[in-house]
Structures are given as C-alpha cells and as structure tokens.
Structure 1
Amino acid sequence: MTIDPKPFFEGLFRAAVAAADPKKTVRTHLPARPRGRTIVVGAGKGAAQMAQAFEEAWDGPIEGMVVTRYGYGAPTTRIEVVEAAHPVPDAAGREGARRLLQCVEGLTEDDLVVALVCGGGSALLPAPPPSLTLDDEIAVNEALLASGAPISAMNTVRKHLSAIKGGRLAAAAHPARVVSLIVSDIPGDNPALVSSGPTVPDPATRQDALAVIETWNLALPEAALRHLKSPQADAPKSDDPRFAGNEVHVIASAARSLEAAAAEAERHGVTPAILSDAMEGEAREVGQVHAAIAREVALRDRPFRKPVLILSGGETTVTIRGKGGRGGRNSEFLLALALGIEDVEGIAAFAADTDGIDGSEDNAGAFADHTTAARLRAAGCDPKALLATHDAWGAFNMLGDLFVPGPTGTNVNDLRAVLVR
C-alpha cells in the first residue's frame, strides 16, 4: 500500500472541516422570519464565518454583532464582527460582551434573536459580575487552563462567574424568541456547555462549580470564591419561563466531521475505525493509548486488520506541571504517541484542532511517525524531556512537522488519525 502520509492526513482534515462548514450547515437550519426585527448575536472562533454564512442565506433585514478571536474575522455587511483575545480574555472581549447584551435589550415577542455560537466563546465573552474585575476573570481562566480539568468542568465554573453565560444572554432577550445555532466542540455535544452556554441553560449549580474547584484543586481569586458561595452566582434554570419557545440546534459536531474523515479514508482504499468522538483525559495518556492500539495492529493485526485508519475526536487536556513550554494538546498527544510507536514501522499519525489553532502558537497540530523520536535525538534533543516540559511545539517545529492551515472558520474539536499500513 503506497500512501504519502502528510497529504493523506491533510485531505482528512479538509474533509472534516468541510463537514462543519457554516456555509452548508447554517443554511439548512434557518428559522422562520419574525413579524418584528431579526437580531444576530454570537461568539466563538468561527463566529465571523457563521455570521457571513447567515447573511448570505437570510432573505430579510438583520442587524447585530458577533465576537471572534483576533485574526479570525470575515467580511460581513450587516452583522458587525468584533475581535478579542483567546484563550485569555481581554478588555476588548469585555466590551464585546457588554455590547451583545445591549443588542438584545428592549425586544418584543415579535422579534427574533439568532445566536451563532461555537467553541471559544467562554474566553471571548468575559463579563464578570459586579463583585469581580476583569483581572479576576483572567485569573480564573488561567487557573482553569492549567488545571487539566475537562472542558465541561471548566465551563461549569465559568458560567457561574459571568453576567452573560449560563443562559443569561437569552434571558436578557426575553420576550423575544431565541434560536441558537451551535457548532459543538464539546465531547457529547451538550449545547449548554459550548462557549459556556450564553443562550442555553443547564441544570448545573454553583455547588457543582464549587465541587469542580475542590476536585481540581483550583486556586481562584478570593472574590470569585465569595461570589460562587452567594445566591448571586445562581444561573437561570432550564425551566425558567423566559426560555419557553426558544430553539436550540447543534448544526455541526465532531461526530459528523469524523464520519467525513472516515469516508475520505475509504476513498483512498483505507478502512477507517472510529474509536470515539468524545475522548477526554490527559493528552499524553491518550497518546500512549493510541500508540498501544497502533502497535497491536502493526504487530498482531488486532483489534483491527491492516491497513487501517484509527480515528478519534473530543478534547484532551494538558495539566501544566511547573513552567510549561510552547505547545498544545494535539502536539503533546503526538509526542507521547511518537515515543510509544518508536521503531514500529508502518505507523504514521496526525492530530489537529479543527479551528486551526492548537494552544497558543499558529499551528493546528502536527505529524508524527515511528522515526520522530529518533530524529529528535539525532538533532540533539531528548523527546522525553521535551514532553516533560510541555514543549511539543518545539519538538515538531525543529523537525519541520508542524501543521499550519490557518483559521478554518469552524470548530468541532480535535481530529486524531493514526494510519497503520
């Protein structure tokens, strides 16, 4: 079997992203036109592209704004695009959150609010309650990002320390009808957890948020802890009458994108095997598990027969121990996997975030194979030491194996692919 791994993996990535393209998914979920105004609000790393797609598909008057990450904008004519910081919030995001709430003030039951929400909105919409400052919210985000907690746990905390998340944006729009179009980057696709659910409430309580803090030993600002222990932190409940008549649609997800990648593999004559679209856990440990499966296939033709493409999605985490290097969860996954498949020929791997950014650098992920660890040693580097200091970006940058597609305009979490030939 002759397949050049890098172009093959790039084709899988393109297929996965195309399956979540807002130009396709938004058009098929348009709500009925209202008697009154149509207000569009939204946030996330693909919010500008969603707004652009909505403008092209909607045949009536619209107004509104969305907030996206710096450098992730797209040209629009009627929906304003505001850029802010991600993954650590900034003042531009706070102003964007304030203006989104302003957009939905004074509406009537004849009006329609369309919320375009995808991953990244939790950081892009800092809206600390009166007892907290922006610096407090930044400190909370930094503690969460370094904790290793799963995204569902992180967003449970975030939505109870916000004036816009946890359904509060939709509550502010009452009595207008709110239709939320969600691109899910959450394992399990719970729409209330995407961007901490600005328009979708869920049953989680402030007691649940406090339990997350205790479980993950989070060091949060004293003001944040005081707020979580007060009734002011309570988020609207799912049975709140202000949400009656609202609609929520998950228009793209990791599951659908993995299926698209699987179909692309079949087109190349490779049998795909999807492990799960909702994997969580430490990136290096998930990498070790994938390496063990790939070794078993390569050496014993089980649990799958060669050639096979092993696929998985979801969102892993990286717990920073000490001072961390440059990297992200996908590159850390791959470096751990590379150590696990060393000297087992015929295995190549790829991992990338479908939004185009893995961590804080400009790459979405990277490529690896059974020679990765040896090539690092030949360059004078210890791959285990690089993994220990979370400098997987440095490792793959040195080898020229980073994957840098740029912003994709969507976000359905990570795509991990291991080819065993």
Structure 2
Amino acid sequence: MIKNNKQQLLLIMEKAINAAKPVHNFPKLLKKPKGEIYVLGAGKAAGSMAKAFEEQCPFDLEGLVITRYDHFVKTKKIKVVEASHPIPDLNGYNATKQIIKIAKKTSKDDLVIFLISGGASALLCSPLDGISFDEKQKINNELLKSGASIDEMNIVRQSISAVKGGRLLELIKPSNCITYGISDIPGDDPSFIGSGPTIYTNNDTNKFFEILDNYKIKISKEILSIIKNNLLPQGINENFHLIASPMKALKAAANLAKKIGFSPIILSDKLEGIASEEGKRMANLALKIKKEQHYKNISLENPILLLSGGETTVKVNGFGKGGRNSEFALSMVNTLKGNKNILGLSVDTDGIDGSEDNAGAFFSYETFLTSTKLNLDIKKYLNNNDSFSFFEKTSDLIFTGPTLTNVNDFRAVLILPN
C-alpha cells in the first residue's frame, strides 16, 4: 500500500514541477522594437527560460544569462554561462561584468528582456565599489548559516550589490525593459525574486542593520560606510510578468490529486520558518486530522493530502549533510514516531536540496521501521543537521536531477483513513 501511495505522491510532485517550467508559460513577443533586442538574466531556470523565449521570438536577438552548474541548456542565440550557487564564484562575477557591459551599451530604441528566477541572488554577483568579491562571499556564507529568511537574505544582498534592488535597471535605462520572472519567493514579491535586479524595492538601510544585528553578522566599518552612502534607487515598477509561481504548481498538484481520489488541501504557498520546527508543526497537524477524522469541513473518508510551498530555513548547529527539505521530512519522522497512516515528501522544485544532489526526501511508516532496525538515533541526526545521511541509510532520498525551474519547496503529506 505504501509503495503505491509513494508512486502517487511522486507523480503529484512531478505534476507540480512541470507546471512551473517556462516552456509552458511564455507569452509571444508580438512587436519588434526600433532597435535591438537583448536578453539578459540569471537564476536556476535562466537557461530553460532563455531557450523558451528565443523559440517563441520571431525576431533577431542576442544576450547572456547565468545559471547554476549542471543547469546548462543549449540555445541558438543567447549565451548561457554556468556559475556557483549558493556561494558566488568568479564565473558568476565575470559573467555579471559582461551583463553590466551589455546593459550600459543599450540605447533608448532597444528592448531588454530580463529573465529572473531563484538562485540569481548568488549567480548575479557584482559588489558595490569598495567591497571585495571575497568580502561578499563571506557575508553570503554567514547569511546561509544564520537561519535568516529568504526575504532577509535578499535585503542584505540588495544592499551590498551594484546590480540588485533595481540597480541593473538604472544601467539599462533609457532602454525599455521587460522582466519575466519565475517566483521562488513566498508571496511572489518581484523585488525579492533573485533580489530584484530590474525591480525597485522599498527596503531601507535600517532593515539591513536590523538583520545584521538580529543574526549577529559582523561587517567592517568600511563596508557599513559604503552601504550608507549608496542607498538603493527608488522608482515605479512596470513591465514585470510572472510566468510561474508556487501557487500555480500547488494548484496543478491539487488537480491531479483529485483525479487520483485524494482530498487535496493547499495550506499555503508561503510557509516559512525553521525547517525542523515547521516539520514538527506539520506532523502534529497530520496527527490531529487523523485523530479527529476531518480537517475543518473535509472528512477523512478519502485520503487527505496536505500541500504547501514556501521556503523554510535551516539553522546550522551541526556538521552533517542535508538541506531544508530533508530536514523538514526528518523532523516529521521524529514527531510521527511510526504512525502507519501518515506519509509524505518534501522537495526543492529545482531538484537540489541544499548542498547535496538530492531534491529532498520521502517518509513513511517504513522509514521509521528501517531506522529502528538500523539503530539510527533520529534526534541525533536532526540535531547534527544530518538529514541526508539518515535518509540515505533508509533509502528514502528523492533524486530528480536539475529540473531547470524553481518555484521553491513542494511538500505533500498524505493522511490515510483507517
């Protein structure tokens, strides 16, 4: 029974990911500008977005996009450069220089198409003058370990960048710029997708300093002075089009779940918080539904499927391996303690959960049984941030490979009737 349910959950997961792929979502460019068309962009989906755009565009164009290593897509006209994520490297730094060069050469008769998706915050890398590349890397690394939310991370990244928070748009002007985005951001705020290179933000410097203080991130006085003297530009945002989002993926998953015979419930497309805490909270909700035999007015006559998106964070205390999705799943295993009627999965829709090559993990009663047979201490693995190793031993890791899109996390928790 669990095996069949697992296959159903994997099919639902695939449906959600496919709904977020750019090939299904790009509108056609119907009018040619007087000048040239330049396509620029960055993100884990940048290569697939570039390919999808040039296939539907009947006009000549050129450009460059930056994507993550192993996310290369062959294109005819747009150059695709691979770089490091989540810590920036020199490939990303040098490719960003090329994007800046193209942006500066455009004229008022040209059209710039900007393609943005999750991951661009690390891939598009150009610190403010006076901040070294090494210093930017160090700040980024501390942010990733701090437990800061994705919104908080992006506020810091915007403040220290020469291209984020609308600063790239300032270089593109007076050319017309149209931005197409795939959202990995809770709430789909375009100024936070990839830290908004072509989108103005209302963030102020005070928020930046509050975040540094809250997470005890130390920055030199020289860098703080540079940031105070380089406030983010302000303006009215126009010409932004969202082509894929977490909610769109969740709705596609819910539609398939109904056809299978489940009762799907979309809890939220913007679930945030510490992964281990949110996993515990989700497990307790599932246990409550199981005990009461309903969720609100929905009876457990048919299996109830809890769907959610968003992005949790991991506060790194240990030295293990694993990302936020496998940690979320491990926290559920720890809380469920072998409940036979609750199973599920948690994955990153880009196919890479944290620093390892898995998308996430599946969990069920059999996961608990296997861990017991192997004498695995669940709490110890959880406290050491070693969820990857745990699920590797129980054979519950999920591998999709790079999906070439990114609408954040996807979680599906199935509650079976008696």
Under TM normalisation by the shorter chain, which class is it? over 0.9
113 and 395 in structure 1: CA distance in 2 versus 1, 3 angstrom threshold = same
Match of 2:406 in 1: 411
1:82-161 alignment runs, 5 A limit: 82-161=81-160
1:137-286 alignment runs, 5 A limit: 137-228=136-227, 230-232=228-230, 234-239=231-236, 246-286=238-278
98 and 267 in structure 1: CA distance in 2 versus 1, 3 angstrom threshold = same
Count of aligned pairs between the two proteins: 412
Structure 1 residue 216, shift from structure 2 partner: 2.2
Once the two structures are superposed, what CA deviation does each residue of 1:349-368 show, in whole Å capped at 9, x if it has no partner?
10101111000010010100
Which amino acid is 1:330 matched to? N
Q: Secondary structure at 1:146's aligned position in 2? A: helix
Quick one: percent identity of the two aligned structures? 39
Match of 2:14 in 1: 14
CA distance in 1, matches of 2:9, 2:220: 43
Match of 1:33 in 2: 32
Q: Secondary structure at 2:201's aligned position in 1? A: coil
Once the two structures are superposed, what CA deviation does each residue of 1:363-400 show, in whole Å capped at 9, x if it has no partner?
01010013423422321321100000000000011111
When the two structures are superposed, what TM-score results if normalisation uses the length of structure 1? 0.95
CA distance in 2, matches of 1:297, 1:136: 49
Aligned 8 A contact 1:284 1:336 in 2: yes
Q: Secondary structure at 1:138's aligned position in 2? A: helix
When the two structures are superposed, what TM-score results if normalisation uses the length of structure 2? 0.96
Match of 1:288 in 2: 280
CA distance in 2, matches of 1:384, 1:222: 41
Which amino acid is 1:401 matched to? D
Q: Secondary structure at 1:318's aligned position in 2? A: coil
CA distance in 1, matches of 2:229, 2:250: 41
CA distance in 2, matches of 1:83, 1:277: 29
Once the two structures are superposed, what CA deviation does each residue of 1:92-133 show, in whole Å capped at 9, x if it has no partner?
111011111111122222110000000000011121112111
Aligned 8 A contact 1:48 1:409 in 2: yes
CA distance in 2, matches of 1:13, 1:373: 22
Once the two structures are superposed, what CA deviation does each residue of 1:47-89 show, in whole Å capped at 9, x if it has no partner?
0000000110000001000000011010001000000000011
CA distance in 2, matches of 1:85, 1:275: 33
CA distance in 1, matches of 2:309, 2:256: 16
Ranges in structure 1 where 5+ consecutive residues have no aligned partner: none
The structure 2 residue matched to 1:314, chosen from 307, 310, 316, is 310
Structure 1 residue 222, shift from structure 2 partner: 4.8
CA distance in 2, matches of 1:292, 1:301: 14
Q: Which runs of 4+ in 1 moved over 4 A?
A: none
Which amino acid is 1:366 matched to? A
Aligned 8 A contact 2:271 2:310 in 1: yes
Aligned 8 A contact 2:182 2:242 in 1: yes
1:369-388 alignment runs, 5 A limit: 369-388=364-383
Once the two structures are superposed, what CA deviation does each residue of 1:299-320 show, in whole Å capped at 9, x if it has no partner?
2213243210001100000011
